[in-house]
A and B are shown apart, each in its own frame.
Chain A
Amino acid sequence: MKSYSKPTSEQLDTAIPLLSSPQHEAYFFAGLENPHWIVPLAQRDVFKYPPKAEHVEGGGIRFPVWSPSRYLVRMAAQAPTEVVAIFAKIETDNASIIGDIVNAAMAMPSDVSVSLVPAICKAAREGALWIHFDNASDLCVRLAEGGQLDAAMSLAEALFTPAFEEGQEEPTRRDEYWYDEGIKKVVPVMVGAYARVFLPELCDWLKASVGAKRYVDPISGSDNSDMWRPAIEEHEQNQDCDFAGVMVGFVREGFEQAIRSGCLSLDEAIQIVAGYPYLIFRRIRLHLIGEFAEQNRDLARQVMLDRALFEDHGCKHEHAMLIGKRFNMLEPDQQAEWLRWVKDGPTGKVAEHMNAPDDPDLSQRRGDYWRFERLHWVRDHLTGAEQHFYQGMRQKHGEPHMADLNVWMGPVRDGPDSPMTVNDFAGMTFEQAVDKVSSWKPEEPQFMGPDIEGLASTFEEYVATNPEQFSEKARILINRPASFVREFIAQMADAVKGGREIDLPAVLDLCHWVLSRPIEERTVPEQEHGALVDKDWQWTRDDISRLLENICKAKAGDVPKYSLDDLQQPIWRLIECLCHDRAESYMIRDVSQDDPRVYDYLNPGLNSPRGKAVGAALEYARWVANRIKQSDGKQDVVPGGFKVVPEVRDMLEWQIAKENRSFEVMSVIGSQIALIYWIDKQWLTENTARLFDLEAIEQTPSAAHGWAAWNAFLVWTRPHIEFYRIFKPQFAYAVQQAAKVELTECGDGRPMHHLGKHLVILYGRGQLGLDDDEGLLRRFLLYSNADVRRHAIFFVGQTLEGDKGVPPQVIERFMTLWDLYWAGPGKSDAKDKPHSVLFGMWFSCGRFPEQWALDRLESFVEVAPTPEPDGSIAAKLAESAHVDIVKSVRILDRIMRGDREGWRIERWLESTIEILRLAMGNPGEAREQAVALVNYLGRRGYTQLGQLLGGS
């Protein structure tokens, strides 16, 4: 071992003031390897004031690392006595330091580390070990192995004695994982070294765990352990989530190990267990007798022939295991006696319970099953009549899962059960299959078990095996229950979408029949648990809408797949009928609380019966338009517009009429404005005011349905100057409203965000100037809701980031836009939400002149030193630093110092080094700032950056 010299008083006088800041203290102690400094430093109180645990604002607790204690840990092997003298005196609630004490104890000889055990025990009892619980368990093992049994026992008690709060079955201050891992390590060692002391302690912990349970009776010993620990041995039915149940496992392992290794005899073990009152201890006793019966055969026989135990419901499993394993230990007459008990059948309360006075047959069946279960325990030893009876019952009933258990947990049910599988339809005609499913009825109402919902799913799978062929037989489903018709039509819709050839006329005939039925008609009797069984025809009608939409959308190459000739009329007849279904969405939402100006209703719209139908109608319009469109030399046009599909125009006008409109349907229409514009611009222009009746918000917000159409337009339609021209008044009104809306944090406000996108894209293209239309965009940027304008600014950066071919004039426009924004509300927007992505992407996209971008970034970080996305900004800053190194270092400095948590510093390190290296090579201000920043970062723990200073 290396020898060191003691420090001089002068050295100490020089060193100690230099350790004043936490960073210098950490630096020094990380580098000090000399154990002779321990005592002199202790004499100068360097180890006297450990930092306390700190409660963090907003909840949580922090355990500051204390570098002097880390030094002591490193010195523990070389100077154990000195380290112990210091640690033994320390009183702290700081888990980090407690962890150091444990680690130091681990590093020193056990006979010295015992002096630290009281401090560690205290921390354990106070729950202050936290993540060091595992190391403390290791220490316990180490002490036991080192012969320090009393200390190991004290520590084991402190670590593992469970404490329960009133009414709680789980101990307090316990990390389940580390507790289990710890006790797993400690039990074998402590049993091996100290069985007679440790095993009673282990039983005490189990007793305390059982005592904390709600339904226990210490006098009678009843504890329901057959429920929470079905088997003493390892068993699939044991639950690892029950603390007492898990503890039983440790107790069993402890006793088994002790007896197996000869530390204890079976009789001694039984004597220990006998001192505890609960059923679980009686069961452990039985288990041990079963496992180690050779040590006391008389006792094993006596127990097996104890009639009371045979009938003891709580000990059923252990008795079954014992008799099953040790039946051969009984003399033939004893075996016969036991089998006679079985043959005689249940007695007492069990017999009473099984008796059905009005049904002797049932009583007999129950009694036989009881006998079957008991014979199952000794199934390997049966002969003659008993064997014959057992095998007959087994053939009839299968394995008796509950033979030795009072509770059994089965697998979790996954979805509804079906009484049939697809294979059951093999060899049947489609008609036979439909007959089979249509005629099936559940036997009796039950929560579990086969139901119509499950059967309908199976039927759906069956139809999917050959939709082409089955589509020809679609008419067979006329007059069948809705669930099966629906699944059939759904499969047809999927088949059309998948490009498969189905018999459309036959399927449409079925659809016509469905629509001829009263919507509210119920086709299967109501059932107690049949919430997902069709209670009327609505779900089927919804799938018809989907089928029709898929037919209209189907393409063969670039043209519609289906011709209009035979299909247009029947399809429209169906759509027209569906377009009057109920408008209310399936999505449950209290719209009375909504602000229609900030909500996109398209999701509810697409989930409403009428919304689905209107969606199909608009696809129908596209289908027809695509079939008749012509080119005017520049683009495709629909000659005559809605005059060639007047049925769609009439439907739209009905839907937007005041008395019929709904948020759901208006949103569906709004999302298809581009289509409507293509088919008939004039109609759109003439109906804009009706469609987008935004001002209704001022009278009756709950009836301002125009916002649903407008918002869906903003969200789902690409910005175009043509739309701006037609909807100019609506844009102006929406900008006015953007200043008044309030947005919540939960993602609402998307339409308002899209309003910004429309405006800035038109601006970028040069189609909308800042001062056009009475400064509409300027007003939007200056006065709209802060979140709305922040999003518009973010959107510009995001768009430019992904677009490499942006023309210079577009960039110039956006530079003007930023300067306008920053001179206005930009600073306060950045300050209020310093992590929002405002200028970050503008900078990182690299589309702007570098000096301009650096100037703006500097102003930005002055206000918000946490720009996002920080990774891209760092990389770009390193890339641009050569343009203005002084400014770059200033920006870097601001960001680093603004990063209180230190996450950015870590992520930026590579770019930081690159920038600082460049700055260090530049004399003057850049270098001075770089030196200051390197020193600052050194304090933050990045001591490797000191190399950048070189000889400066």
Chain B
Amino acid sequence: MASDHLELDSNQWKRGIGSPSPLRNWPPKRHQLLNWFRSRAAPLAEAYEGAICLLEQEDFPGRVHFISHAVRDIADRLVFVLDPQLEGGRVQYENEMDKIEKLWPKLQTIEETTGGPAAQDAVRIDYGLALRIDSLVGAHRKRRQRPSNSELLFQYLMRQEPSRAEVSQRLVSDFKKMRDWFMDLTHLRRDKTPTVDEYELRAQFSKFEGVLHSFVGDFFTGTAELDEILQQANQ
């Protein structure tokens, strides 16, 4: 663990984003999670690490926006990094429409070439064009039928679990809510930037970390935290 601190410190200095965060004060959970990202989901590790750093630097300009972006992206992309066999499933609507648009005759042209069909009549279109439309509709349908990224993520995590239990829908629902909270803050707006309560930001970030750590962190680190809660609850 000690070596992780030093490494993190030096990386932090090298990147030079503001002043260094007090990494030595990170809870063990955060260290374990970052280590896990580095070993199992390396492409997302820096985004997570950056989000932590920004969380600690309250005066960093655009901080909420960047943190939210990082969390949203991690929430959406994590399962695909963990399970490379899984297809991304994103439909490139604009690219596909661009292709269709090139082949699509204006309705007026059809009317002219076919002698002016009535509104209720069928319209003949080119077979190649029909194929493209069919492909887009098929991809869209498939995307709609597939479980959400959150569900896929927990399906993956549960598969790695010793219990191999089914995914709890409560978990998926809570994770989606958390992800949506960050999603709302991801994109820049035309009007004023929304103000975010610092406590709420940290609570949501903590929820994000807590959920992931419960699956991938050290078991007894989690039970130590739960012991504290239980001690208070059972008093």
Beyond A49-B168, A946-B220, A946-B223, whether A21 also contacts B230 by CB under 8 A is: no
In-complex Cβ contact of A21 among B166, B203, B209, B214 (8 A): B214
> Which of B97-105, B128-136, B157-165 has 4 or more CB atoms under 8 Å from chain A?
B157-165
Q: Is the CB of A37 within 8 A of B233?
A: yes
Q: Is the CB of B229 within 8 A of A11?
A: yes
In-complex Cβ contact of A18 among B163, B214, B235 (8 A): B214
Instruction: Return chain B residues, CB-CB under 8 Å to A32.
Output: 230, 233-234
Instruction: Return chain A residues, CB-CB under 8 Å to B222.
Output: 18, 21, 24, 27
- In B167-221, the 8 Å CB interface with A consists of 168-171, 173-174, 203, 206-211, 213-215, 218-221
Instruction: Return chain A residues, CB-CB under 8 Å to B163.
Output: 22-23, 64
Nearest chain B residue, comparing its CB with the CB of A33: B234
B125 at the interface (CB under 8 A from A): no
Q: How far is the CA of A17 from the CA of B161 in the complex (A)?
A: 17
Beyond A28-B226, A934-B220, whether A17 also contacts B169 by CB under 8 A is: no
Q: Is the CB of B165 within 8 A of A51?
A: yes
Instruction: Return chain A residues, CB-CB under 8 Å to B226.
Output: 15, 18-19, 24, 27-28, 31
Instruction: Return chain A residues, CB-CB under 8 Å to B220.
Output: 934-935, 938, 946, 949
Instruction: Return chain A residues, CB-CB under 8 Å to B83.
Output: none
B113 at the interface (CB under 8 A from A): no
Instruction: Return chain B residues, CB-CB under 8 Å to A24.
Output: 214, 219, 222-223, 226
B95 at the interface (CB under 8 A from A): no
Q: How far is the CA of A34 from the CA of B163 in the complex (A)?
A: 27
In-complex Cβ contact of A939 among B157, B208, B219 (8 A): B219
B58 at the interface (CB under 8 A from A): no
Q: In the complex, how many angstroms separate the beta carbon of A37 from the nearest chain B beta carbon?
A: 6
Q: In the complex, how many angstroms separate the beta carbon of A218 from the nearest chain B beta carbon?
A: 48
In-complex Cβ contact of B165 among A19, A22, A934, A940 (8 A): A22
Interface centre among B203, B215, B233 (most CB of A within 10 A): B233
Q: How far is the CA of A46 from the CA of B234 in the complex (A)?
A: 19
In-complex Cβ contact of B233 among A7, A46, A64, A946 (8 A): A7
Q: How far is the CA of A931 from the CA of B218 in the complex (A)?
A: 8
Instruction: Return chain A residues, CB-CB under 8 Å to B230.
Output: 28, 31-32
Q: In the complex, how many angstroms separate the beta carbon of A938 from the nearest chain B beta carbon?
A: 4
In-complex Cβ contact of A22 among B161, B174, B210, B213 (8 A): B161
A936 at the interface (CB under 8 A from B): yes
Q: In the complex, how many angstroms separate the beta carbon of A132 from the nearest chain B beta carbon?
A: 20
Q: In the complex, how many angstroms separate the beta carbon of A119 from the nearest chain B beta carbon?
A: 20
A5 at the interface (CB under 8 A from B): yes
B225 at the interface (CB under 8 A from A): yes
Q: Is the CB of B214 within 8 A of A19?
A: yes
A565 at the interface (CB under 8 A from B): no
Q: How far is the CA of A253 from the CA of B207 in the complex (A)?
A: 62
Instruction: Return chain B residues, CB-CB under 8 Å to A23.
Output: 161-163, 219
In-complex Cβ contact of B206 among A14, A33, A54, A936 (8 A): A14
Q: In the complex, how many angstroms separate the beta carbon of B147 from the nearest chain A beta carbon?
A: 15
Q: How far is the CA of A18 from the CA of B215 in the complex (A)?
A: 9
Instruction: Return chain A residues, CB-CB under 8 Å to B169.
Output: 48-49
Q: Is the CB of A27 within 8 A of B234?
A: no
Q: How far is the CA of A902 from the CA of B164 in the complex (A)?
A: 13
- A920-952 interface code vs B (CB 8 A; 1 in, 0 out): 000000000001101110111001001001000
Q: How far is the CA of A24 from the CA of B212 in the complex (A)?
A: 12
A13 at the interface (CB under 8 A from B): yes
Beyond A4-B233, A31-B234, A936-B219, whether A13 also contacts B170 by CB under 8 A is: no
In-complex Cβ contact of A13 among B207, B208, B223 (8 A): B207
In-complex Cβ contact of A17 among B173, B214, B227, B235 (8 A): B214
Instruction: Return chain B residues, CB-CB under 8 Å to A49.
Output: 168-170
Q: Is the CB of B203 within 8 A of A54?
A: no
Q: How far is the CA of A33 from the CA of B232 in the complex (A)?
A: 11
Instruction: Return chain B residues, CB-CB under 8 Å to A931.
Output: 218
Q: In the complex, how many angstroms separate the beta carbon of B36 from the nearest chain A beta carbon?
A: 11
Q: Is the CB of A45 within 8 A of B173?
A: yes
Q: Is the CB of A18 within 8 A of B165?
A: no
Nearest chain A residue, comparing its CB with the CB of B210: A17
Q: How far is the CA of A546 from the CA of B230 in the complex (A)?
A: 79
In-complex Cβ contact of A20 among B166, B206, B210, B221 (8 A): B210
Instruction: Return chain B residues, CB-CB under 8 Å to A567.
Output: none
Q: How far is the CA of A52 from the CA of B168 in the complex (A)?
A: 10
Q: In the complex, how many angstroms separate the beta carbon of B162 from the nearest chain A beta carbon?
A: 5
Instruction: Return chain B residues, CB-CB under 8 Å to A559.
Output: none
Nearest chain A residue, comparing its CB with the CB of B221: A935
Q: Is the CB of B219 within 8 A of A938?
A: yes
Q: Is the CB of A17 within 8 A of B162?
A: no
Q: How far is the CA of A5 from the CA of B227 in the complex (A)?
A: 17
Q: Is the CB of A17 within 8 A of B207?
A: yes
- B20-41 interface code vs A (CB 8 A; 1 in, 0 out): 0000000000000000000000
Q: In the complex, how many angstroms separate the beta carbon of A166 from the nearest chain B beta carbon?
A: 35
Q: Is the CB of B219 within 8 A of A46?
A: no
Instruction: Return chain A residues, CB-CB under 8 Å to B171.
Output: 20
- In A815-830, the 8 Å CB interface with B consists of none
Q: In the complex, how many angstroms separate the beta carbon of B219 from the nearest chain A beta carbon?
A: 4
Nearest chain B residue, comparing its CB with the CB of A46: B170
Instruction: Return chain A residues, CB-CB under 8 Å to B215.
Output: 20-21
Nearest chain B residue, comparing its CB with the CB of A19: B214
A16 at the interface (CB under 8 A from B): yes
Q: How far is the CA of A14 from the CA of B29 in the complex (A)?
A: 13
Beyond A31-B226, A51-B165, A935-B220, whether A18 also contacts B173 by CB under 8 A is: no
- A361-379 interface code vs B (CB 8 A; 1 in, 0 out): 0000000000000000000
Q: How far is the CA of A293 from the CA of B208 in the complex (A)?
A: 79
Instruction: Return chain A residues, CB-CB under 8 Å to B166.
Output: 51-52, 54, 64
In-complex Cβ contact of B211 among A15, A17, A45, A934 (8 A): A17
Instruction: Return chain A residues, CB-CB under 8 Å to B211.
Output: 17, 20
In-complex Cβ contact of A943 among B161, B207, B218, B223 (8 A): B223
Instruction: Return chain A residues, CB-CB under 8 Å to B210.
Output: 14, 17-18, 20
Beyond A45-B173, A51-B165, A946-B220, whether A20 also contacts B233 by CB under 8 A is: no
Interface centre among B162, B166, B218, B227 (most CB of A within 10 A): B162
Instruction: Return chain A residues, CB-CB under 8 Å to B218.
Output: 931-932, 935
Q: How far is the CA of A948 from the CA of B118 in the complex (A)?
A: 82
Nearest chain B residue, comparing its CB with the CB of A15: B229
Q: Is the CB of B229 within 8 A of A20?
A: no
Nearest chain B residue, comparing its CB with the CB of A20: B214
Q: In the complex, how many angstroms separate the beta carbon of B115 from the nearest chain A beta carbon?
A: 60
- In A881-912, the 8 Å CB interface with B consists of 900, 902
Q: Is the CB of A64 within 8 A of B162?
A: no
Q: Is the CB of B170 within 8 A of A5?
A: no
Q: Is the CB of A14 within 8 A of B214?
A: no
Q: In the complex, how many angstroms separate the beta carbon of B119 from the nearest chain A beta carbon?
A: 49
Q: In the complex, how many angstroms separate the beta carbon of A142 from the nearest chain B beta carbon?
A: 29
Q: In the complex, how many angstroms separate the beta carbon of A619 from the nearest chain B beta carbon?
A: 61
Instruction: Return chain B residues, CB-CB under 8 Å to A946.
Output: 219-220, 223
Q: In the complex, how many angstroms separate the beta carbon of A20 from the nearest chain B beta carbon?
A: 4
29 of the cross-chain contacts (CB-CB < 8 Å) are A13-B207, A15-B226, A17-B174, A17-B210, A20-B210, A20-B214, A21-B215, A22-B161, A23-B162, A24-B214, A24-B219, A24-B222, A24-B223, A27-B222, A27-B226, A28-B230, A31-B226, A32-B230, A32-B233, A37-B233, A46-B170, A49-B169, A49-B170, A64-B163, A64-B165, A932-B218, A935-B220, A935-B221, A946-B223
List chain A positions with a Cβ less than 8 A from chain B.
4-5, 7, 11, 13-24, 27-28, 31-34, 37, 45-46, 48-49, 51-52, 54, 64, 900, 902, 931-932, 934-936, 938-940, 943, 946, 949
List chain B positions with a Cβ less than 8 A from chain A.
157, 161-163, 165-166, 168-171, 173-174, 203, 206-211, 213-215, 218-223, 225-227, 229-230, 232-235
Other than the known A48-B169, A49-B169, A935-B219, what 18 A-B pairs have Cβ atoms closer than 8 Å? A15-B229, A16-B207, A18-B213, A20-B171, A22-B161, A23-B161, A27-B223, A28-B226, A33-B234, A45-B174, A48-B170, A49-B168, A49-B170, A64-B163, A935-B218, A938-B219, A939-B162, A949-B220
